[in-house]
Chains A and B, each alone.
Chain A
Amino acid sequence: MAADKKLRIPQMAVQNLRAKKFRTVFMMFFVLLMSATFFFSTILMENMKAGITNTTERMGADYILVPKEGTENIRESLFAGVPCSVTFDRSVEEQVRAVKGVRRVSSQLYIATLAASCCDAAVQLIGFDPETDFVVKPWIEKSGELELKTGEIVIGNDIIAQVGDTMKFYEVNFKVAAKLEKAGMGYDDSVFMTYDTANLLKDSPVAKEKLPSGEIDGYASMLMIDISEDLERKEAKMLGIDIQEAAGTGQAMHAYSADDLMSGIASQVRKLSGYGNVLTYIMVVSTALALISIFAITINERKYEFGVLYTLGASKKQIVSIILSEALLISFAGGILGVLVSYYLVMTFKNFISVKLGIPYLDISVRQAAPVAGLCIVIAAVTGIIAAVCSAYRMSRSEIYCLIRECE
């Protein structure tokens, strides 16, 4: 005769959980909350950090010279594509070029548009000088060899338009000559053009109020500076000061390395992720405590149930397995649901989140999200195991008999 089908310990755990639906759902909800928070904050932080790295790498200049007043604006534009208009006299370019140790200098001009037809919000226009540029062109040429004619623009990946389209800024029409690859930084929301093209704006009556008077190509918003390769580290460091001094005749200027320029945001992110971490830790610890106490209370209530199992010849190992299975089922289910809920929320409010929090690029592809999701579920499971082990330990210390009749 074949062996009869037995109720195995995981099935017993499932039956116990089903019989106490409210308790089960309540505990799962705790785990869900923890896992959702952890997933959400970790994904956001990772994306913030990735955004900073992208920005720093993309810039590819040793020094960036910006007016002190406009630093914050430029930074926000580079990192998150928040448009700004910053100007200083472009003659500074020549002064800096004369500094010993400086290899290449190129001006860039930042102009914010009014809300454009293409986009929900204003767009960052970036003018560059094709003669001297060493930052934008290599980036543009990744999408193919390109000779930009006057009136032609290259658009960032997030700008909603196609090659060949016409875009209107300040009542002036521009032709889209190329669309860039995703950069994961502010450039995705920017529109690139040569200084010659930018000069077309000067005839626009609408632009007059917003732009500096006179020839537009007499202005710059920042200088990208490359320094000589054979400088020692220390000399390279000192060169920043020389550059600043050379530039500092009119407006107060500041020369940053790309890292330094972004360090404002980096430290903001560090702070934020610090808070995020603390919050997450608090969340994890309090969930663990909540689970442990709910477990402890219910296990106390259920001592009798386990005592009965003992009288039927269950070993302590079997009892502990039942408790552990219940905890694992709850925490796995809660952990997975938490990740799903969080993922769904991030997906749904992706644009809102990236605008509100100034995250340039919210990457929640499976490749990015899977390890974080895995970590969430592991943390949830570990929390469950801790809760189960704590209650099982407490229970195993009392004599079996006490389980079926409360000991004084």
Chain B
Amino acid sequence: MVRVENLTKNFLRNQRDFDAVNDVSLQVKEGEFAAVTGHSGSGKTTLFNMVAGLIRPTSGKVFIGDAEFTAMTEAQQAVFRNENIGYVVQSQSLLNNFTILDNICMPAYLSRSVTEFKERAVQLLTEIGLAELAGEYPRNLSGGEIRRVSIARAMLNRPQVLLADEPTSNLDSDNARKVMSMIRDISNSGTTVLLSTHEMEYLDYADTVIKIKNGRIE
């Protein structure tokens, strides 16, 4: 479950304040698949970054499960993020110096509590049909493959919440559909999903649609 209360992020631009996210409140129930849509610049990424704890909101609160995420210290947030939030950022986010398998295992490498993960990593790789690429480096993968690996990596530590920021951008419709059905399956297995997109044709994969415009929910 993700609950956002009166979340606002204020940026300075050309010496003037503006709210990239303006007093947003929303709730996504456990296992629900919510899609956030809006034009470019409407504040989707800013919202996701606040939910993931990568930027501090100017005001407002974020709850994940029972925990008040925004009340935690930075170090606590890091551990919490590692265990409970899978975040697929908008751009290419694989680590180029590491193999695909090491990339997928990275959340476990960084964790203190997770000790068994190899089997799951291999299983995730098999599910996305890339088992034979385990030893490859990211530079040898296509855009669609990279996107699927990022999602698999986000799921390694079995997070409560998956945040996927425009996971279909720059993909052809074949690959985009593959990614969307993969995320649908993740949601079906009980993970709460918050996804952003500005491509309307994929909205029917989601349970609910949240529209955002100029930082406000419509």
Quick one: closest A residue to B97, CB to CB? Answer: A19
CB distance from A262 to the nearest CB of B (A): 58
B200 close to chain A: CB less than 8 A: no
Contacts of B110 in A (CB 8 A): 309, 312-314, 318
Q: Is the CB of A314 within 8 A of B78?
A: yes
Q: Is A315 an interface residue (CB 8 A)?
A: yes
A315-B79 contact, Cβ under 8 Å, with A7-B109, A404-B54: yes
Chain B nearest CB from A325 CB (Å) reads: 14
Q: How far is the CA of A402 from the CA of B74 in the complex (A)?
A: 15
Per a CB cutoff under 8 Å, which of B75, B89, B117 touches A308? B89
Indicate with 1 or 0, residue by residue over A1-30, a CB within 8 angstroms of chain B CB atoms. 101111110001001101110000000000
- Whether A316 contacts B74 by the Cβ 8 Å rule is yes
B107 CB within 8 Å of chain A: yes
B166 at the interface (CB under 8 A from A): no
In residues 39-55 of chain B, which contact A (Cβ within 8 Å)? 45, 49, 52, 54-55
Q: Are B78 and A316 touching (Cβ within 8 A)?
A: yes
B95 adjacent to A305 (CB under 8 Å): yes
Within 8 Å by CB of A312, from B13, B45, B97, B153, lies: B153
Residue of B whose beta carbon sits closest to that of A403: B54
Interface residues on B, range: 35 or more
> Given A313-B78, A315-B75, A318-B110, A19 and B54 touching (CB < 8 A)?
no
Report if B105 contacts A (CB, 8 A): yes
Interface digits, B79-91 against A, CB 8 Å rule (1 contact, 0 not)?
A: 1111101010101
Q: Please tell me which one of the listed residues B93, B97, B107, B115 contacts residue A3 in the complex, with CB atoms under 8 A apart.
A: B115
Q: Which residues of chain B have C-beta atoms less than 8 A from A3's C-beta?
A: 115-116
Q: With A4-B117, A16-B97 as known contacts, state yes or no: A310 contacts B78, CB within 8 Å.
A: yes
User: Shortest CB–CB separation between residue A41 and chain B, in angstroms?
Assistant: 38
How many angstroms from the CA of A12 to the CA of B110 in the assembled complex? Answer: 11
- A residues 88-127 near B (Cβ < 8 Å) are none
Would you call A15 and B97 a contact (CB within 8 A)? yes
Q: Decide: B105 and A308 in contact? CB cutoff 8 A.
A: no
Q: How far is the CA of A405 from the CA of B96 in the complex (A)?
A: 17
A75 to B70, alpha carbons, bound, how many Å? 78
CA distance A399 to B12 in the complex (A): 14
Which chain B residues lie closer than 8 Å to A310 at the CB level?
A: 54, 78
Verify A315–B78 contact, CB threshold 8 A. Answer: yes
CB pair B56–A399 under 8 Å, yes or no, is yes
Query: Closest Cβ of chain A: how far from B110's Cβ, in Å?
Result: 5
Query: B96 near A19 (CB under 8 angstroms)?
Result: yes
Q: Which of A3, A305, A400 has the most CB of B within 10 A?
A: A400
A401 and B111 within 8 A (CB): no
Would you give the shortest CB distance from B125 to chain A, in whole angstroms?
15
Looking at the assembled complex, report how far the CB atom of B52 sits from the nearest CB atom of chain A, in whole angstroms.
7
B54 touches A4 (CB 8 A): no
Q: Which residues of A contact B24 (CB under 8 A)?
A: none
Closest 10 CB pairs of A and B: A313-B82, A19-B97, A3-B115, A315-B78, A401-B55, A4-B118, A313-B81, A401-B54, A400-B54, A311-B87
Complex A-B: 20 CB contacts under 8 Å: A3-B115, A4-B116, A5-B118, A7-B105, A7-B106, A16-B97, A308-B94, A309-B106, A311-B81, A312-B81, A312-B87, A313-B78, A313-B85, A313-B157, A314-B110, A315-B78, A317-B75, A400-B55, A401-B55, A404-B89
